[in-house]
Amino acid sequence: MLKWREFVSCILIVLLLIGTESIVLAKTTITWWTLGPREGAEEIKQVYEKKNPDVSVEVLILPSWDDLWKKLMVSVAGGVTPDVVRGKDYWVVDLASRKALLPLDDVIEKNKKEILGMPPERIYTRRIYDLYTYQGRIYALPFHNFWPVLVYNENLFKEAGLRRAPRTFEEFREFGIKLTKPEKKQWGTMLYTYTRLEPTLVLWSFYVYSLQNKAILVKVAKETGEPTFLLDAPESVNTLQWIVDNIYRYKFCTPPEAISPNMIENEKVAMWITGQFSFGGYDRTMPPNVKWAVAPIPTNIEKAIFTEGNALFIPAGTKNKEAAIEFAKFASGKEADLIWSKWSGTMPFRDSNWAKPPYSNMPRYVVSANEMKTYKLVFPQYFPGYTEVMSKVAESLQAAFYNKMSPLDAMKKAQADAASMVKK
């Protein structure tokens, strides 16, 4: 009987101590919504919690961007928002225009050296001021980013007697024709995407090439955030015509109806444009016999590159403003950058981290970094309603890819659609 009483007393004391510890530590819990890789997010959380024992980070990994967007909207409607969100770059201006985000100007101004680096990191800083600014105020910090590179199959290139990747549009066409073997259903190249998933990704297939022709698709007024479209300018039309000719006239770019899953893995396409976010996936899923390499994208009258990625923003309804800001600063910092890049396989979003291995010595990263250093950096222009308007533009691009509309008609329609949507 006595032993039983002692046992119960011990249990009660232990429970009391646990409760007291929680009260004494008074941990702040912040929630971070993001996509995977899970290991990267978990490691960032663990490192942050170790440095900040009074803070607990709850990470919620969503399976897709669509899921994250929907959940975020529901949380905003319900007034129970997460504290920090990793979202698409082009969400920032849209959400900021709806007053759904916390401005971060003051935070950046007070912590300039810490946040931007000393000297300020070029791409990191430009992302803040070029992508996350709406009507003069800043609403996000950079996270994960990527830019287009040309990836090519070394085996197929060797078979065609080609020793290097194409450097110009002419070479791209010339090599593409050599690499196309209809009897093997092998194509010189394919577009980034033709139809599926996010319509804005259809834009990638066009935008990469349009920059090389000095095409400007849209200009956004800094003060008002209002866009002016230039989709039917000759540079844009010529770019689309060039792409469509590659598909239907020179027949080395896979037409939409010939697309099949795993064409890259099955060595049915010799070169393609993608971003560094693909590298991790290729390491995991590419068959060992497939030798792939990275080269800068081919250029024309201009040598230009764009970059985009994901941002860290804080919903306006957060209940832990200070803690959220501190975590966002950390997650956007150099240490978290290296953690994230390690797990995702992509380039670090902090320029200064490119000097560290493997980014300083692995060919895929060295080529990517040199491309970014030597090409003219052009940022996409985001505006409120960007996703909806660009999805409409993507419809016209698709019509041209499917040969249902001439490039001129397609870009004229895109221009008319975009202008009328913004007017509404």
Partner 1 sequence: MVIKMRLNRTLKENIEGYLFISPALLGVIIFSLGPMIASLILSFMQYDIVNPPRFIGTSNFKALLTDPLFSKALFNTMYYVGGVVPLRLIVALLAAILLNQKIKGVTFYRTAYYLPSVSAGVAISIVWTYVLDPQYGLINSVLRYFGIEGPPWLQSTTWAMPGLILMGTWSIGQPMVIFLAGLQGIPTHLYEAVSIDGGNWWHKFRYVTLPMLTPVIFFNMVMQTIGTFQVFTSVYVMTNGGPMNSTLVYVFYLYQQAFQWLKMGYGSALAWVLFLIIFTLTVLQFRISSLWVYHE
Report the interface residues with partner 1, using CB under 8 A. 66, 69-70, 73-74, 76-77, 95, 98-100, 185, 194-197, 199, 256-261, 385, 387-388, 395, 398-399, 402, 404
| Distance in angstroms (rounded) separating the CA atoms of residues 102 and 113 | 21
Q: At what angle do helices 334-344 and 38-51 cross, to 10 degrees?
A: 160
CA Rg value for the chain: 24
DSSP string computed for 263-318 = TTTTT-EEEEEEETHHHHHHHHHS-TT--EEEEPPPBSS--EE--EEEEEE-BTT-
**Which one, 376 or 404, has the nearer CB to partner 1?**
404
Residue pair 384/94 in contact by the 8 Å Cβ criterion: yes
Name which of 366 and 399 has its Cβ closer to partner 1: 399
Nearer to partner 1, 22 or 403 (CB): 403
Contact present, 142 and 332 (Cβ < 8 Å): yes
For the bound state, the minimum distance from the C-beta of residue 94 to partner 1, rounded and expressed in Å, comes to 8
Cβ 259 to partner 1 shortest distance, Å: 5
Half-sphere exposure of residue 214: CA atoms within 13 angstroms, side-chain side: 3
Long-range contacts of 407-411 (CB under 8 A, 24+ apart): 407/237, 407/240, 407/241, 407/243, 407/244, 408/232, 408/237, 408/241, 410/240, 411/231, 411/232, 411/236, 411/237, 411/240
- Which one, 216 or 408, has the nearer CB to partner 1? 408
Residue partners of 320: CB distance under 8 A and separation at least 6: 28, 29, 30, 83
**What minimum distance in Å lies between the beta carbon of 204 and partner 1?**
15
Give whichever of 18 and 197 is closer to partner 1, judged by the CB atom.
Answer: 197
Contact in structure between 370 and 78 (CB atoms under 8 Å): no
Q: Can you list the positions of beta strands (E) in 99-252?
A: 133-134, 137-138, 141-146, 148-153, 187-190, 218-220, 227-229
Nearer to partner 1, 174 or 198 (CB): 198
- Closest contact distance (angstroms) between CB of 73 and partner 1 is 5
Tell me how far apart the alpha carbons of residues 123 and 183 are, in angstroms, rounded to a whole number: 45
Nearer to partner 1, 51 or 70 (CB): 70
Residue 102 C-beta: closest distance to partner 1, Å: 13
Check if the beta carbon of residue 228 is closer than 8 Å to that of residue 317: no
Nearer to partner 1, 194 or 354 (CB): 194
CB of 92 to partner 1, least distance (A): 14
- Name which of 399 and 408 has its Cβ closer to partner 1: 399
- Short-list 16, 90, 110, 120, CA closest to 313: 90
